[in-house]
Amino acid sequence: MRTVLPRPCAAGFRSGTLARGSPFGASNVGAAQLAEARSIASVAAVQNHFHVHHDGDAALLRQCEELGIAYVPFFPLGGGRAPIDAERVERVAARHGATVAQTALAWLLAASPRILAIPGTGVADHLEENVAASGIRLTERDRVELTPSRRRPPPNGRCAPPP
Protein backbone atom coordinates (compact mmCIF):
# COMPACT_ATOMS: atom_id res chain seq x y z
CA MET A 1 0.00 0.00 0.00
CA ARG A 2 1.25 3.47 -0.84
CA THR A 3 1.54 6.09 1.84
CA VAL A 4 1.75 9.86 1.87
CA LEU A 5 5.06 11.65 1.56
CA PRO A 6 7.32 11.10 4.56
CA ARG A 7 7.17 14.16 6.81
CA PRO A 8 10.87 15.08 6.48
CA CYS A 9 10.54 14.88 2.70
CA ALA A 10 7.38 17.00 2.67
CA ALA A 11 8.98 19.54 5.01
CA GLY A 12 12.03 19.73 2.75
CA PHE A 13 9.83 20.31 -0.27
CA ARG A 14 8.01 23.12 1.47
CA SER A 15 11.22 24.89 2.43
CA GLY A 16 13.24 24.10 -0.71
CA THR A 17 13.11 24.98 -4.38
CA LEU A 18 9.66 23.50 -4.84
CA ALA A 19 8.24 26.12 -2.52
CA ARG A 20 9.45 28.69 -5.05
CA GLY A 21 6.89 27.40 -7.55
CA SER A 22 9.01 25.10 -9.70
CA PRO A 23 6.87 22.31 -11.11
CA PHE A 24 8.21 18.85 -10.42
CA GLY A 25 7.63 15.21 -11.26
CA ALA A 26 6.56 12.57 -8.79
CA SER A 27 7.52 8.93 -9.15
CA ASN A 28 5.88 5.81 -7.77
CA VAL A 29 3.06 7.69 -6.07
CA GLY A 30 -0.56 6.94 -5.30
CA ALA A 31 -3.55 9.28 -5.20
CA ALA A 32 -2.90 10.42 -1.61
CA GLN A 33 0.75 11.19 -2.34
CA LEU A 34 -0.18 13.07 -5.49
CA ALA A 35 -2.71 15.15 -3.57
CA GLU A 36 -0.14 15.97 -0.90
CA ALA A 37 2.50 16.82 -3.49
CA ARG A 38 0.05 19.12 -5.27
CA SER A 39 -0.64 20.91 -1.99
CA ILE A 40 3.06 21.77 -1.86
CA ALA A 41 3.89 22.63 -5.46
CA SER A 42 2.81 22.20 -9.06
CA VAL A 43 3.15 18.62 -10.31
CA ALA A 44 4.05 18.42 -13.99
CA ALA A 45 4.33 14.64 -14.33
CA VAL A 46 3.78 11.34 -12.57
CA GLN A 47 6.03 8.40 -13.36
CA ASN A 48 4.68 5.02 -12.28
CA HIS A 49 4.80 1.37 -13.36
CA PHE A 50 2.27 0.91 -16.16
CA HIS A 51 2.19 -1.25 -19.28
CA VAL A 52 0.10 -3.72 -21.22
CA HIS A 53 0.29 -6.27 -18.37
CA HIS A 54 0.25 -3.85 -15.45
CA ASP A 55 -2.54 -1.29 -15.40
CA GLY A 56 -3.07 -1.00 -11.66
CA ASP A 57 -2.72 2.78 -11.93
CA ALA A 58 -5.65 3.22 -14.33
CA ALA A 59 -7.53 5.36 -11.80
CA LEU A 60 -4.46 7.52 -11.12
CA LEU A 61 -3.96 7.91 -14.86
CA ARG A 62 -7.55 9.22 -15.14
CA GLN A 63 -6.85 11.63 -12.28
CA CYS A 64 -3.74 12.89 -14.09
CA GLU A 65 -5.87 13.42 -17.20
CA GLU A 66 -8.38 15.48 -15.23
CA LEU A 67 -5.60 17.56 -13.64
CA GLY A 68 -3.62 18.08 -16.84
CA ILE A 69 -0.62 16.15 -15.48
CA ALA A 70 1.58 14.09 -17.79
CA TYR A 71 1.80 10.38 -16.98
CA VAL A 72 5.12 8.70 -17.81
CA PRO A 73 4.97 4.91 -17.48
CA PHE A 74 8.21 3.25 -16.46
CA PHE A 75 8.88 -0.17 -17.94
CA PRO A 76 6.56 0.70 -20.88
CA LEU A 77 7.76 -2.40 -22.71
CA GLY A 78 7.51 -4.74 -19.77
CA GLY A 79 10.96 -4.73 -18.32
CA GLY A 80 11.50 -5.58 -14.74
CA ARG A 81 9.84 -8.87 -13.98
CA ALA A 82 7.06 -8.80 -16.58
CA PRO A 83 8.01 -9.10 -20.24
CA ILE A 84 5.29 -8.02 -22.64
CA ASP A 85 5.32 -11.10 -24.83
CA ALA A 86 2.04 -12.87 -24.26
CA GLU A 87 -0.40 -14.60 -26.56
CA ARG A 88 -2.96 -11.80 -26.36
CA VAL A 89 -0.38 -9.18 -27.37
CA GLU A 90 0.99 -11.41 -30.12
CA ARG A 91 -2.53 -11.94 -31.56
CA VAL A 92 -3.22 -8.22 -31.77
CA ALA A 93 0.25 -7.56 -33.18
CA ALA A 94 -0.33 -10.15 -35.92
CA ARG A 95 -3.65 -8.52 -36.88
CA HIS A 96 -1.82 -5.21 -37.40
CA GLY A 97 1.34 -6.62 -38.98
CA ALA A 98 3.24 -5.10 -36.05
CA THR A 99 5.73 -6.26 -33.48
CA VAL A 100 4.80 -7.05 -29.89
CA ALA A 101 6.71 -3.94 -28.73
CA GLN A 102 4.87 -1.71 -31.21
CA THR A 103 1.55 -3.14 -30.10
CA ALA A 104 2.33 -2.57 -26.42
CA LEU A 105 3.33 1.03 -27.18
CA ALA A 106 0.20 1.55 -29.28
CA TRP A 107 -1.89 0.32 -26.32
CA LEU A 108 -0.19 2.85 -24.03
CA LEU A 109 -0.72 5.69 -26.48
CA ALA A 110 -4.39 4.72 -26.89
CA ALA A 111 -4.87 4.57 -23.11
CA SER A 112 -4.63 8.33 -22.63
CA PRO A 113 -3.53 11.50 -24.39
CA ARG A 114 -1.59 12.27 -21.18
CA ILE A 115 0.75 9.28 -21.55
CA LEU A 116 4.32 10.06 -22.52
CA ALA A 117 5.79 6.71 -23.44
CA ILE A 118 9.59 6.73 -23.32
CA PRO A 119 10.88 3.31 -24.31
CA GLY A 120 14.63 3.58 -23.94
CA THR A 121 16.80 2.30 -26.74
CA GLY A 122 20.29 2.74 -28.03
CA VAL A 123 19.59 1.04 -31.36
CA ALA A 124 18.40 3.10 -34.34
CA ASP A 125 16.24 0.25 -35.70
CA HIS A 126 14.42 -0.01 -32.37
CA LEU A 127 13.89 3.74 -32.32
CA GLU A 128 12.28 3.60 -35.77
CA GLU A 129 10.14 0.64 -34.68
CA ASN A 130 9.03 2.49 -31.55
CA VAL A 131 8.12 5.64 -33.46
CA ALA A 132 6.11 3.58 -35.97
CA ALA A 133 3.92 2.39 -33.10
CA SER A 134 2.22 5.80 -33.10
CA GLY A 135 0.71 4.92 -36.48
CA ILE A 136 -1.08 1.80 -35.22
CA ARG A 137 -4.79 2.41 -34.74
CA LEU A 138 -6.13 -0.13 -32.28
CA THR A 139 -9.78 -1.11 -32.56
CA GLU A 140 -12.04 -1.33 -29.54
CA ARG A 141 -11.70 -5.13 -29.78
CA ASP A 142 -7.89 -4.75 -29.70
CA ARG A 143 -7.99 -2.46 -26.67
CA VAL A 144 -10.29 -4.78 -24.76
CA GLU A 145 -8.12 -7.79 -25.61
CA LEU A 146 -4.94 -5.98 -24.58
CA THR A 147 -6.19 -4.39 -21.38
CA PRO A 148 -5.24 -6.50 -18.38
CA SER A 149 -8.05 -8.26 -16.60
CA ARG A 150 -8.05 -8.68 -12.86
CA ARG A 151 -9.37 -12.20 -13.47
CA ARG A 152 -6.55 -13.06 -15.86
CA PRO A 153 -3.38 -14.40 -14.20
CA PRO A 154 -0.26 -12.28 -14.67
CA PRO A 155 2.03 -13.34 -17.54
CA ASN A 156 4.19 -16.27 -16.48
CA GLY A 157 3.12 -15.60 -12.89
CA ARG A 158 5.99 -13.11 -12.58
CA CYS A 159 4.16 -9.89 -11.88
CA ALA A 160 1.98 -9.47 -8.83
CA PRO A 161 -1.60 -8.47 -9.62
CA PRO A 162 -2.43 -4.83 -8.98
CA PRO A 163 -3.65 -4.00 -5.44
Spell out a b/e string for 50-76, using b for 16 or more CB atoms within 10 Å of the CB, else e.
bbbbbbbbeebbebbbeeebbbbbebb
pLDDT, position 79: 67
Q: How far apart are CA 84 and CA 75, in angstroms?
A: 10
pLDDT, position 86: 82
If the chain, 163 residues long, is cut into consecutive pieces of 10 residues, what is the mean pLDDT of each piece? Answer: 46 54 86 92 92 89 95 83 79 96 94 90 89 94 83 40 37
pLDDT, position 136: 96
Are 71 and 114 within 8 A, CB to CB? yes
pLDDT, position 3: 41
Q: How far apart are CA 26 and CA 154, in angstroms?
A: 26
